[in-house]
Structure 1
């Protein structure tokens, strides 16, 4: 059966159309600007035209789009949003209103309407249709979900979910969902969007998707250390016998070679504490157990060269499963999809 795998990041959305009759390395692939960058660009163009904006659609990843909202408000222009779109900015809608966003269901006259969402099926159908390709029924999507946290740090809530998955077994199926937890509002928004379009979905977080995808590279020797250097976040994990047994997550922009070396050393020898990462502005660290000796170190992600070239990671190899680093997360999604019978129980 064919599969559409979509890895939605802070900078890009990486798309793989897998078909059993096509060699994986020859599969149809696209690397496109991420949805949050697209929304940010539309808001910025409205700002240049001195137009108010009305955001409507599902909750999605923020980052660039939220920054564009703040620029728009600072310019003295108005931002209106439906409750679901406003939750992209902050789970606490009272805080969103305090920022200056007017929350309402109907668009005001004259405002530029901007549609939110982490995936756009009609656009993908049109893009693939240009090459006589149909979208498959099964879609696997990775988004970075911080979890619903109106009154707590979303860094805490996000890492609690990752920790729970490791404690539940740490295997890929512990990080993949047919029915996401109710607190994972971004995953739920994607699932609820896809259902009326007739698609069955598997949802994952982008970090674990990239880690398990990189483990499919022939250079990975178990047990090993895998690091994904994303545009927004860096996640490092120890994988042993198909399980993530230790992990930390930080913001890529907050890391330098010396700091990275220190955190990786603590992860590998089991001395890294959650507070070491969280107090530095990252998400956290959790160590269940570490093997005595690691046999491989792999780095993936669009920012990996910044750290590979620095010499901070001795002996590290650049991972490129299926010959393409940019679809590492998609390969992880494929691996989760291959176990869909477990998820469909």
Structure 2
């Protein structure tokens, strides 16, 4: 049984091909530029050659809502440079759900029919987070077929479609609160593609752009996927897939977002999300301390340009009882290595989680675990692999 998992971040897209015939450590994996970075680089090349007439060719963006950040910044920069920019409504939501605000940037919103007539005269780029055809071709170039997949699981970070005048940061945290109160589980943020909440428009765009897949599609939010995946580090769970600690705080320091979940026996006890560029280690550790003692308030993060915070327990999480205080994962986890540069302060003791020997694929392992719940018919081999209790020791050349 094979399952393709794709964790799409702001800097990278991390891909893991699960094969139930192999130990997880032997599964094929890729860490590639994220789709938003691919668009960003393409447009930067356009700006770099802006002195030539060819570079003044109008740009047309079609496709779907995708992750913003680098792609959105580059599109805005191109428009400011005087290059005509056209976007279809669905593509334009990459910049803002309120299309009048996109038009205020000097970008013209056109219909799908108008886009078809424009294509011969413009440079056309399709926006989408998940490109199964490209990923499939990449694996195929290395002799690996994706024609026999049992499932595909994709994670993206979705703010949701906030109503006009409502902060998308607040809207996301209202959504997180609703889901956690309904089902206190990290896997509650995963859905089959035909069961995505209507307000989660980026998750829906992944499904819309992935039509005609050969198997079921599961989509999930990247934040809980990363934390769930980190839990499979051997210091955090045993061969029965049970936590080795009753309580744990896991912090994911991503390229664009930093978040921490406080987990206890009954599930999620608290969470906060901030923008990585807005914090340093002292600020991050201060938030983690408040998350631990139960004093963290939504405003502590939201008013500092972060997303927010939720607390579900006033019980104090005690540091110092074990050989580490906080579990750390994410591509910018090196923030916790800067402790020696900060004088006269006592830092939290981090443990850098490496589930199955690879921190960058943690989100993929979270996706895999969530898929076993969403598609219970696939659960037995997935859970057996994640527990690691039945190591096969099979080499890749003997697997098939």
TM-score, normalisation: structure 1 = 0.95
- Asked if the contact 2:294–2:316 (Cα under 8 Å) also holds between the matched residues in 1, the reply is no
Deviation by residue 1:113-164 (Cα, 9 ceiling, x = unmatched): 0011001111111111112222224111110000002411111111111112
CA distance in 1, matches of 2:29, 2:76: 34
2:64 aligned partner = 58
Within 5 Å, which residues of 2 pair with 1:226-245? 226-241=250-265, 243-245=267-269
CA distance in 1, matches of 2:127, 2:215: 19
CA distance in 1, matches of 2:133, 2:11: 21
1:124 aligned partner = 135
- Asked if the contact 1:223–1:291 (Cα under 8 Å) also holds between the matched residues in 2, the reply is no
- Which of 71-80 and 148-157 deviates more? 148-157
CA distance in 2, matches of 1:330, 1:226: 16
- Which of 221-230 and 106-115 deviates more? 106-115
Which secondary structure state, in structure 2, belongs to the residue aligned with residue 236 of structure 1? strand
CA distance in 1, matches of 2:122, 2:375: 46
- Asked if the contact 1:3–1:17 (Cα under 8 Å) also holds between the matched residues in 2, the reply is yes
1:205 aligned partner = 221
1:91 aligned partner = 97
CA distance in 1, matches of 2:170, 2:215: 32
1:29 aligned partner = 29
1:146 aligned partner = 159
Deviation by residue 1:197-225 (Cα, 9 ceiling, x = unmatched): 33311111111100111111112233100
1:269 aligned partner = 293
C-alpha distance 209-9 of structure 1, shift in aligned 2 (>3 A): same
Rg larger for: 2
- Which of 144-153 and 131-140 deviates more? 131-140
Which secondary structure state, in structure 1, belongs to the residue aligned with residue 177 of structure 2? helix
Which secondary structure state, in structure 1, belongs to the residue aligned with residue 274 of structure 2? strand
- Asked if the contact 1:228–1:299 (Cα under 8 Å) also holds between the matched residues in 2, the reply is yes
CA distance in 1, matches of 2:75, 2:256: 19
CA distance in 2, matches of 1:191, 1:329: 19
1:102 aligns with 2:108: yes
Runs of 4+ in 1 over 3 A off after TM superposition: 290-296, 341-344
Deviation by residue 1:269-313 (Cα, 9 ceiling, x = unmatched): 000100110000000000011554455520000000122332675
- Asked if the contact 2:131–2:210 (Cα under 8 Å) also holds between the matched residues in 1, the reply is no
- Asked if the contact 1:299–1:318 (Cα under 8 Å) also holds between the matched residues in 2, the reply is yes
- Asked if the contact 1:167–1:288 (Cα under 8 Å) also holds between the matched residues in 2, the reply is no
C-alpha distance 159-342 of structure 1, shift in aligned 2 (>3 A): farther
Once the two structures are TM-superposed, the CA of residue 343 in structure 1 deviates from its matched residue by 11
Ranges in structure 1 where 5+ consecutive residues have no aligned partner: none
- Asked if the contact 2:233–2:355 (Cα under 8 Å) also holds between the matched residues in 1, the reply is yes
Which secondary structure state, in structure 2, belongs to the residue aligned with residue 199 of structure 1? coil
CA distance in 2, matches of 1:251, 1:306: 13
2:144 aligned partner = 133
1:328 to 362, 369, 385: 362
1:310 aligns with 2:300: no
- Which of 325-334 and 237-246 deviates more? 237-246
CA distance in 1, matches of 2:259, 2:191: 20
Which secondary structure state, in structure 1, belongs to the residue aligned with residue 309 of structure 2? strand
2:343 aligned partner = none
- Asked if the contact 1:15–1:30 (Cα under 8 Å) also holds between the matched residues in 2, the reply is yes
- Which of 238-247 and 259-268 deviates more? 238-247
CA distance in 1, matches of 2:371, 2:24: 15
- Asked if the contact 2:14–2:361 (Cα under 8 Å) also holds between the matched residues in 1, the reply is yes
1:298 aligns with 2:327: yes
1:165 aligns with 2:179: yes
Alpha-carbon RMSD: 1.8
1:337 to 363, 368, 371: 371
Which secondary structure state, in structure 1, belongs to the residue aligned with residue 212 of structure 2? helix
- Asked if the contact 2:191–2:374 (Cα under 8 Å) also holds between the matched residues in 1, the reply is no
- Asked if the contact 1:240–1:291 (Cα under 8 Å) also holds between the matched residues in 2, the reply is no
Once the two structures are TM-superposed, the CA of residue 37 in structure 1 deviates from its matched residue by 0.6
Number of matched pairs: 344
Deviation by residue 1:137-193 (Cα, 9 ceiling, x = unmatched): 411111000000241111111111111222123213311111110010010011122
